[in-house]
Copies of this chain bind each other. A is one copy, B any other.
Amino acid sequence: MIKAGIIGSTGYAGQELVRILLRHPETEIIWYGSRSYIDQKYSEVFRNMFQIVDAACMDDNMEELMKKADVVFTATPQGFCAGIVNEEVLEQTKIIDLSADYRIKDVSVYEAWYGIRHASPRFLPEAVYGLCEINREKIRSARLIANPGCYPTCSILSAYPAAKEGLIDMDTLIIDAKSGTSGAGRGAKVANLYCEVNENIKAYGVATHRHTPEIEEQLGYAAGREVRLSFTPHLVPMNRGILVTAYAALNRTAEEEEIREIYEAYYKEEPFVRVLERDVCPETRWVEGSNYVDVNIKVDPRTNRLIMMGSMDNLVKGAAGQAVQNMNLVFGLPEGTGLDAVPMFP
């Protein structure tokens, strides 16, 4: 049994990780970390866990944790993980970081967008960007995994084959994304109150959202060149789900079927990417609670643009599920272990 510790287990992503790991056949959670709820029973914070989890929340004692845990998940604010990682830690345990600390290779880009100093940039080269569909082999041997952001996961997987194959003009790429409210976290803010979010939709972080450089970096690797794109997230009155609608000029005229076949070829062996049938648009309801990403494309011959779409559960594939997928790879388990949930509808 893999012994897993979670730092930040009382956020939405942390709790989702608990939910998934509780039914993972090869894992045992040995540490429910939460600074906000130390010594409080975990099931009092999340009452869905009543009679399922008996443990109380614990402070984040890395000294102890790295000795006890085979893997430590950090579902923590930006900067926390960078502050605790060091060689001693990485020799004793694996780190899967759900924050952004190790996602961006260029520390100056990280520091510019996140507005904080990176405490351990020397581990950036070693850290592996944990998008399993692209970095599967590197992940298997990693000690430190940067679990991708929710928007980047959906954005990258929606555009990857087109970028990689040079189908689109990367200078024209625009990503318009929409997320459920769990992505905003569990902090007590007026802006996230029920009556503020319900019956509303808004864009936020326009032209400045921190996931932008992460997407640019990864799609840059795919395209083999630097990428600058527009990324606009929107807040949607629903609990879970991310939808991405991306636009780019086609580099040449192409039939829709031709491009869909390319997408199908790329994702044929992927257990969690479903390329939908012609004219079926991704919808968040069809992936809820699962690790799937549904993608599809549409060619608009009038404008010679490619429209790339993806949907995903932001807490599963966009956070906790992908973290478990990474863990499975690291520990040599079948990649889908514990992740076989059928999407729950309605």
Please name all residues of chain B whose beta carbon is closer than 8 Å to the beta carbon of A344 when the two chains form the complex.
19, 48, 289, 344
A119 at the interface (CB under 8 A from B): no
Shortest Cβ distance from A204 into B: residue: B281
Q: Is the CB of A345 within 8 A of B46?
A: yes
A190 at the interface (CB under 8 A from B): yes
Please name all residues of chain B whose beta carbon is closer than 8 Å to the beta carbon of A203 when the two chains form the complex.
243, 245, 281-282, 309
Please name all residues of chain B whose beta carbon is closer than 8 Å to the beta carbon of A188 when the two chains form the complex.
188-190, 193
Please name all residues of chain B whose beta carbon is closer than 8 Å to the beta carbon of A201 when the two chains form the complex.
178, 236, 238, 241, 243, 283-284
Q: How many residues of A contact B (CB 8 A)?
A: 83
Q: Is the CB of B232 within 8 A of A307?
A: yes
Interface residues of A in 49-87 (CB under 8 A from B): 49-52
Q: Is the CB of A202 within 8 A of B243?
A: yes
A214 at the interface (CB under 8 A from B): no
Of the candidates A22, A190, A237, the one having the most CB atoms from chain B within 10 angstroms of its own CB is: A237
Shortest Cβ distance from A207 into B: residue: B300
Q: Is the CB of B245 within 8 A of A346?
A: no
Interface residues of A in 316-346 (CB under 8 A from B): 340-346
In the complex, A10→B194 CA distance in Å?
16
The 9 closest A-B pairs by CB, nearest first: A48-B343, A195-B346, A207-B300, A200-B285, A202-B283, A194-B197, A176-B176, A188-B188, A47-B286
What are 9 A-B contacts defined by CB distance under 8 Å?
A: A47-B283, A181-B195, A194-B237, A200-B241, A200-B284, A203-B243, A206-B298, A237-B237, A344-B344
